[in-house]
Amino acid sequence: MIYIICGAYGILFAVSSFLLRLPDVGLANTNSDPSRVLGWIVYVGIESYGSICVALFWSFVASSTSSASAKKGYPLIITGGQIGSIFGPSIATMTEIFSIPNLFTFAVFQIMLIITLTRYYMVGIGIEEMLANIDDSTVKKKTPGLLVGIKLLTTQKYLMGIFAVSTIYEVVGSIMDYQMKMLAKETYSSTEAYTAFLASFGVAVNSLSFCIALVGTSYLLRKFGLRACLLIYPSAVGIVLVCVFLVPTLTVVFFAQVCVKGLSYAINNPSKEMLYIPTSPDVKFKVKSWIDMFGSRSAKALGAVVVNPLKGSLDTLLHTGTLISFVWVFVWLFTAVFVGKEWNILTLENDIKNISASEPNSNSLTKVVTLSENSDNNKEAKDLESDNHE
């Protein structure tokens, strides 16, 4: 799927780069007209690429990653992504030098690099890791169909919890994003100044995400565990909402949005991706794709529905919108506690199964059985749980 989908987008952007060089349909035609089909195609291509390919990539990673290696590998992936998120916009700021068609060509080379690296990984160690993570019982019970993911999602509380943790922040983020842009519109009268403001916001968000991912994500996951990290992000969002409610100025909302976006990329994203590790292959591909692509976009749409009746008054938008965000954060915290507890139980059960399968007569198995049968050994149970976190 990575080869096919990324290849299709590579062809789309290559054709777009060629057409943009033609005088009649390209950049030489500066007339603004909604009937210019190429503009719509390029826009939809860019937006859908970010939704489909990122979700596809994480499904691929989750299917070939163990719980132990995820704590080390996921922060590195996030860090690499943040380097790209800083490098890409930096190149785009020099559009007058490189030209837009050449930037499309550059994007095509990057997509081809993704395909090449994926092929290199699968030839090297990818197949062995994927086979090691496949449960024979699940392979024999494949359930085809487009709506299988929806069925699994709506019938499992744990998956519904992942859905909430993965999407609620999009609702809150959409509300705060609109608040910030409305304040910026009031402050900056010219399009150039407004664009410069949004560019500085992007640089600030990606730089903060990079710093946290580089020095903080791995440490937090190893030091406090996934359950604590699931609570750190909504707690931080609640704190910045208090600041926005008390001092609803552009500067405060700007830094609040930087914190929300930065912590989302650096802490919440790797944490929610790890929630899929103890699940079945059907969940990692079918359910995850629904959550990442449709759930995320639906959450943004819900945020737009919230702010739409409030946009008439800037004061109402700032205060009422922030109060509504508080309600969502409360639901978010409650769900994060539930999901973190369930993840710990599922991970512990998988560890017990692995020990039973590999060392049926070992002391470790005896210890697990003893812990499960003897309710008085609370200290040993805590030690085992601590080992499981490490």
Same-domain check for residues 157 and 90: yes
In a domain, 138, yes or no: no
In a domain, 198, yes or no: yes
Same-domain check for residues 344 and 364: no
Q: Which of 133, 172, 129, 158 is nearest to 268 (CA)?
A: 172
Give the 3-state DSSP-derived string for 16-32, with helices as H, strands as E and coil as C. Answer: HHHHHCCCCCCCCCCCC
**Residue 255's domain is classified under what CATH number?**
1.20.1250.20
In a domain, 230, yes or no: yes
pTM over 0.75: no
In a domain, 53, yes or no: yes
DSSP state of 135: -
Same-domain check for residues 315 and 371: no
- DSSP code string of 85-113: HHHHHHHHTTHHHH-HHHHHHHHHHHHHH
In a domain, 232, yes or no: yes
pLDDT at 31: 63
Same-domain check for residues 225 and 262: yes
Same-domain check for residues 304 and 375: no
In a domain, 70, yes or no: yes
pLDDT at 178: 87
**Phi, psi (deg, nearest 5) at residue 25:** -115, -10
% of residues, the chain, pLDDT over 90: 6
> Would the pLDDT of 382 be above 60?
no
Q: Report residue 121 as tokens.
A: 């990984």
Same-domain check for residues 281 and 374: no
One-letter amino acid of 195: T
Same-domain check for residues 331 and 381: no
Same-domain check for residues 253 and 179: yes
Stretch among 95-109, 184-198, 285-299, 361-375 having the lowest mean pLDDT: 361-375
pLDDT at 362: 42
**Which tens digits make up the pLDDT trace of 315-341?**
888 888 889 988 999 998 888 888 888
Measure the CA angle with vertex 115, ends 113 and 120; round to 5°. Answer: 95
Same-domain check for residues 367 and 274: no
Domain range for 249 = 2-25+36-132+147-348
In a domain, 46, yes or no: yes
Total domains present in the chain? 2
Same-domain check for residues 322 and 375: no
Same-domain check for residues 279 and 367: no
Same-domain check for residues 369 and 285: no
Q: Which of 270, 273, 78, 59 is nearest to 162 (CA)?
A: 273
In a domain, 44, yes or no: yes
> Would the pLDDT of 366 be above 50?
no
Q: Which of 193, 174, 226, 215 is nearest to 70 (CA)?
A: 226
Q: What is the dihedral of CA 16, 17, 18, 20, to 10 degrees?
A: 80
